[in-house]
Amino acid sequence: MIYITGDTHSNFERVKELCRRFKPTVDDTIIILGDAGINYYGEERDCKLKKTLSQLPITIFSIYGNHEMRPETITTYKEVQWNGGVVYREDKYPNLLFAKDGELYDFDGLKTLVIGGAYSVDKQYRIDHNMGWWADEQPSDEIKSRVEKVLADIGYKIDVILSHTTPLKYEPKEVFLSFIDQSNVDKSTEEWLDIIENKTEYKKWYCGHYHTNKKIDKMIFLFKDIIEFKP
């Protein structure tokens, strides 16, 4: 079985409850749509969380968000093959996997593309208060080129896209924070995803980031809900 949910920000109570109720195994997977919070502090608190999660009877597959470190920048992670694509994994925690942006994965026969990253609207607050903020939070030109090449190679036809943020046209404006001046928000990633969305034929697109659960056309936003991953 494959499940999917939104940002967890280090709080995996809903995943633990899923495990208590449905008794999965490591052959089952839960997809986290970014901001898992597993690589946030870069010290013992991360290790403690990883030890706890490694004992859960399920494989956790996280895409990159914006409030966390990219696994490729952490020396303990290695690239390994999984479900037809490359993932980042630490030897100590074999059930904790992180997607590589621009990779294609096979989820029960569904060809799935991953595009992580987003801009932090609280960037300045985080910098001012010495909280976690990372300059590589948005997709780089290299990542964008990789994504575009993959899509071009498959004729812009795919089953599922997983991203942290959403194409600009689908922004859920009703959940925008009132104290954030949107004119100061860098929306270049969302604008780029708009271009991708316009030229790609897909069945479903899942995203997190906005802390809401809703569906618009084939775009599905997830936060605390856990649903079955299917076409």
231 has pLDDT over 70: no
Q: What are the C-alpha distances in Å from 190 to residues 16, 41, 164, 170?
A: 32, 27, 10, 9
The neighbouring-strand residues paired with 30 are 3, 60
pLDDT 10s digits, 29-84: 999 999 999 999 999 999 999 999 999 999 999 999 999 999 999 999 999 999 99
When pLDDT is averaged across residues 204-212 and rounded to a whole number, the result is 98
Where would I find the beta strands (DSSP E) of the chain?
2-5, 29-32, 59-62, 78-82, 85-89, 96-99, 104-107, 110-115, 160-163, 204-207, 214-216, 219-221, 226-228
Judge whether residue 170 has pLDDT over 70.
yes
Average pLDDT over residues 11-29: 97
pLDDT of res. 210: 97
pLDDT higher than 70, residue 218: yes
Q: So what's the pLDDT on residue 230? A: 80
The pLDDT, as a whole number, for residue 38 is: 98
Q: For domain 2-228, say whether CATH 3.60.21 is its number.
A: yes
On the question of pLDDT at 174 being above 70, the answer is yes
* pTM higher than the cut 0.75: yes
Q: What is the mean pLDDT of residues 13-28?
A: 97
pLDDT per residue as tens digits for the range 108-165: 999 999 999 999 999 999 999 999 999 999 999 999 999 999 999 999 999 999 999 9
More confident call, 180 vs 158: 158
Specify which residues 32 forms β-bridges with: 5, 62
Provide the token pair at 196: 């991708």
- Residue in this structure with the two tokens 């036809």, named with its chain if needed: 157
Share above pLDDT 90 across residues of the chain, in percent, rounded to a whole number: 97
In the predicted model, is pLDDT for residue 198 greater than 90?
Answer: yes
Mean pLDDT of the chain: 97
The answer on pLDDT for 12 being more than 90 is: yes
